[in-house]
Amino acid sequence: MSKRDYYEVLGANKGDDAKALKSAYRKLAMKYHPDKNPGDAEAEAHFKEIGEAYSILSDDEKRAAYDRMGHAAFQQGGGNHAGGQGPFAGGGAADFSDIFEQVFGDAFNMANGRRGGRQSGPARGADLRFDLEISLEDAFGGKETTVEVPTAMNCGRCEGKGNEPGTDLETCGTCAGAGRVRRSQGFFTMEQTCPQCGGRGQYVKTPCHDCDGVGRVRENRELSVTIPSGVEDGTRIRLTGEGEAGAQGGPRGDLYIFLSLKEHEIFERDGPNLYCRTPASMVSAALGCSIDVPTIEGGKAEVKMSEGAQTGRRMRLRGKGMPRLRGGPRGDMIVELFVETPRNLCDRQKELLKEFCELSGDNCNPDSAGFFNKVRQFWDDVTTEDGHPHN
Ligand SMILES: [Zn+2]
Ligand SMILES: [Zn+2]
């Protein structure tokens, strides 16, 4: 069976633009539509042929392929003089069932209900984000807390209906309360959602004082949140079904709590580990001593400092860091020492230090001694043979 040329099927010419093709299709589709020709198999076949032709010619890419190769572009396998399969072989022309609705607009329903219009239907509510700042101690121990989340709620005054209590909703005059209106287009009667009342069939004449007739108000909702121990900066907690209410009875969205950690005065966190920079006086560092450092649980731990401890010295307290969100051993606390040079000295103190200095030799300050030896060597090396330094 030979196939008719698509342009011939539509009664169009090869050079016609998209608008002309669409118009040709509309005319023929109405003429051969099965609703206008009940029980007429020939008309139905014709209607399908028109649909197929238009589905190809209304698609720029497919139209170009058809212009180049004819029907061979959409046939599978043999009998194809172009050699092998066309670019759209295996179903390229099959999907034209929706073409009628696309051309005539999918907002319309066929009056006899043979084609159901696309309805928006119940939609899932939006997900909400809520930012919550917590302390390091809360991240350490976990916490039960309540948050106030602003969200859209049904208005309590009008129970979501939108009219002021004691007044009635008015029946829509445009659709007489049906919510849908019919109108004629060509041979068909189309049905569409009433533009006046948005399909409700009624409208608010006296708007509710609280919600201005919307039926919904922004309200803060109190929700309890469990913050597990070990959370980190950026951890998200999902509260399923606590997002915005869905449209038309759709499911609620989710609420995501985004956690951020407040800076701590004493501890700095790095993953599971905690850093604590601890000062020691020059004298304590020189003589050695033990110092009490705070721990995140609120207690203290003793750290021993040996004689002559230097700035930057690190001591590790195993298992005194943060817990891990997914379990496992606690991190460590790392105490980093810095030696504080004494300030605001009185005359007597200065005298003692001068005396101390006179008693001190290179072995008291080996780093200084070593450094200045290197400096002297450096100056010697850059001095030329004639005794003058380089520039
Ligand atoms: Zn209200
Ligand atoms: Zn209406």
**Could you read off the pLDDT of 21-64 as tens digits, one per residue?**
888 988 888 888 877 788 888 888 888 888 888 888 888 888 88
Q: What percentage of the chain exceeds 90 in pLDDT?
A: 34
Distance 203 CA to ligand 2 centre (A): 8
The answer to whether 293 and 234 are in contact (CB under 8 A) is: no
Distance 254 CA to ligand 1 centre (A): 25
Q: Which domains does the chain have, with CATH numbers?
A: 6-106 (1.10.287.110), 128-169+204-261 (2.60.260.20), 267-340 (2.60.260.20), 347-382 (no CATH)
Distance 105 CA to ligand 2 centre (A): 21
Which ligand sits nearest to residue 204's alpha carbon?
1
Distance 217 CA to ligand 1 centre (A): 7
Which ligand sits nearest to residue 170's alpha carbon?
2
Pairing mode, strands 273-281 and 255-261: unpaired
Distance 219 CA to ligand 2 centre (A): 30
The answer to whether 100 and 51 are in contact (CB under 8 A) is: yes
Residue 115, number of CB atoms within 10 A of its CB: 15
Which ligand sits nearest to residue 198's alpha carbon?
2
| pLDDT at residue number 167 | 87
Distance 182 CA to ligand 2 centre (A): 11
Question: The tokens 């009490």 sit on which residue?
Answer: 292
pLDDT of 119 higher than 80: no
Which residues lie near ion ligand 2 (Cβ < 5 Å)? 172, 174-175, 194, 196-197
| pLDDT at residue number 82 | 36
Rounded to the nearest 5 degrees, what angle is found at the Cα of 29, between the Cα atoms of 114 and 46? 95
- Mean pLDDT over 179-191 rounds to 78
Distance 232 CA to ligand 1 centre (A): 41
Using DSSP, state whether 271 is helix, strand or coil: coil
Distance 212 CA to ligand 1 centre (A): 7
